[in-house]
Structure 1
Amino acid sequence: MPESPEVQVLVEFLDQQTVGRTLDDVDVLEFRAIKTRTAPPTGLVGRTLTGAGRHGKHVALSLDDGTHLVVSLGRHGWVRWRPAGSDDAAPADEPPALAEFGLAGGDRFEVTDAGSWVSLGLFVVDDALAVPAIAKLGPDPAAPEYSAADLDVALGGRRKQVKAVLQEQESIAGIGNAYSDEILHLAKISPVVHAAVLDDAARQRLYEATVATVRGAIDARRGIPIDRLKAAKVEAMRVHGRAGEACPVCGDTIGEFTFSGAAAQYCPTCQTGGVQL
């Protein structure tokens, strides 16, 4: 699943490559991806791109008429860049394009979705906040103004597992399954403990780990080609996706459990007092 560090670097790339360029052609190949049927992406032909921004895990491209093309990446969505003159056919091992956007000069970009169902969404709106998922987003740990008080609001006195809170977009924007595992490992907090029982010291560790993990990952991904960002994310994980391997901190075997239908990883020694989840 795309998460804020990789999406931030993707947005920075798109901002660098597309601003000031006109959309010469738009071809939607999977119409289920269109979420604003009265304002389809094909209506953007002839418009000039003026900027790219990120809202949580969503990409928002602004245009010269004041509208925004919002790409909600969903569970498996991404963007593929196709330089002018590149082969029209995508490699067989890459996910299919759901829509293609041709730019003046011959470059184009494609939005892709690798899932068995269409999770990616395309919106053409006057304001990115018109997209319901964006309107509901909580504060973003990548933002310089994000504070420990913001995290305290998200945690509150809730009888909800802290891993679930970290992934709850309405409370904290941009974090998914992978980075929540990494944050909790760095903070030395069990993923299944309820937010309500965290003391002040644990909340401070969680805040520091959240900010360090998200911002550190953004810095580490900059300069990596966008088609390598997902692989770079996987390679950088300390515990997520590392079940059965040695914890890089204490050497214990990293454990795994199922959380909301997905596999999550943790270190029993660092996080759960030796208890296997």
Structure 2
Amino acid sequence: MPEMPELDAAAHFLRERAQGHAVARVDLASFSVLKTADPPYTDLVGKEITGVGRRGKFLLVHCQDLVLAVHLARAGWLRWHATAPKSAVRPGRSPLALRVVLDTGAAVDVTEQGTKKGVAAYVTTDPDSLPEIATLGPEAAELSLEELAEILAGTGSRLKTVLTDQSVMAGIGNGFSDDILHAARLSPYATAKGLEADETARLHVAISEVLGQAAEAMSGQSLDRIKEVKHAGYRVHARTGLPCPVCGSDIAEVSFAEKSLQYCPTCQTGGRRLSDRRMDRLLK
């Protein structure tokens, strides 16, 4: 799932190429991706793109008095065309969900891989009025130490859950939460309100450093390179069985639902392996 660093990089890419140009056409390959009806998406046509930004995991394309807000869910991403494809956009099994064509002839596609579709697009005059955005917590990268401490003290949830709950803090997903917890030397199963002051301080530094370093690495990259750079920079996420970059121990994994988390037992859990119900069942 796209997180803050790659969405910021994508917004930067689009600002450089689309800002100042008008929307010539909007093609929907899947009407289910559009979650709003008023204003109609066709009202975007003729509007100048005046800015591209982000709120949480939403990409915000400002088109004068309208905003196209896009949530890329788990498997969504963007594709840039210097020249828009000539073939007509038709519903079907293609990953294409939405295409915005500019007056320059260039185009950007919103795509989604897989059969489970979750990408969502909204056309609005005020993105903060959308319930999906109004309920977001503060931006994770902008939290002060005091604000983070207050959030943690107010919940008995596990740290992994707190970091990825968008209503608590926005912008962090499954991947960077693993790396943040590794950098902070904290167990993903640790209870938020049980952290000592020094642990909270380590977590605050880790949020800033991990997200900041990732954002710097992705800045200026093309859309087709951003995800590659993201995955190459992971500390522990998606690196099960590989050596920890700090201590050399094997990185371990816990699987749950349709996701998994990775961590270093030596650096984060005092050498103890966390229970993995899926693996426990396989070993019985």
Give TM-score scaled by structure 2 length: 0.91
User: How much has 1:215 moved relative to structure 2?
Assistant: 1.3
Change (3 A) 1:210 1:253: same
1:32–1:118 Cα contact (<8 Å) kept? no
- Equivalent residue pairs, number: 271
1:224 shift after superposition: 1.5
Aligned twin of 1:81: 80
SS of the aligned residue for 2:77 comes to strand
1:87 and 1:125 map into 2 onto residues whose CA distance is: 29
Runs of 4+ more than 6 Å apart: none
- The one-character-per-residue Cα deviations of 1:234-260 (angstroms, maximum 9, x if unpaired) are 111110011111111111111000245
Match of 2:42 in 1: 42
Equivalent position of 1:3 in the other structure: 3
Q: Give CA deviations for 1:182-231 in whole Å, capped at 9, x if unaligned.
A: 00000000000111211001000000001111111111111221111111
Question: Do the aligned partners of 1:139 and 1:150 also contact (CA within 8 Å) in 2?
Answer: no
Aligned counterparts, 1:154-165, within 5 A: 154-165=151-162
SS of 2:109's partner is strand
Determine the C-alpha separation between the residues in 1 that align with 2:250 and 2:116. Answer: 34
Q: For 2:253 and 2:168, locate their aligned partners in 1 and report how far apart those are by CA, in whole Å.
A: 25
Task: Kindly provide the amino acid, as one letter, of the partner of residue 163 in structure 2.
Answer: L
Could you say what secondary structure the match of 1:252 adopts?
coil
Query: Does the C-alpha gap of structure 1 residues 183 and 2 become closer, same or farther in structure 2, counting only changes over 3 Å?
Result: same
Deviations 1:23-53 (A, max 9, x none): 1111111000010023332231111111111
Shift, 1:142, TM fit: 3.2
Deviation at 1:132, TM superposition (A): 1.5
Of residues 233, 237, 245 in structure 1, which corresponds to 2:234?
237
Partner of 2:58: 58
Provide the C-alpha distance between the structure 2 equivalents of 1:15 and 1:132, rounded to a whole number of angstroms: 26
User: Residue 227 of structure 1 aligns with which residue?
Assistant: 224
Question: Deviations along 1:127-168, whole A, 9 cap, x unmatched?
Answer: 11122221111121334xx31122113212421100100001
On the 8 A contact 1:161/1:191 being kept in 2, the answer is: yes
| Residues 1:15 and 2:28 aligned together | no
Question: Deviation at 1:180?
Answer: 0.3
- Quick one: which of 152, 172, 175 aligns to 1:175? 172
Amino acid at match of 2:124: V
Displacement after TM superposition at 1:88 (Å)? 5.1
TM-score, length-scaled by structure 1: 0.93
Q: In structure 1, how many angstroms separate the alpha carbons of the residues matched to 2:28 and 2:235?
A: 38
Q: Which segments of 5 or more consecutive residues in structure 2 lack a partner in the other structure?
A: 275-284
In structure 2, C-alpha distance between the alignment counterparts of 1:89 and 1:259, rounded to whole Å: 40
Following superposition, the deviation at residue 89 of structure 1 comes to 9.4
Q: What root-mean-square deviation, in Å, do the aligned CA atoms of Structure 1 and Structure 2 show? A: 1.8
Match of residue 269, structure 1, among 266, 274, 281? 266
Question: 5+ unaligned residues in a row in structure 1: which ranges?
Answer: none
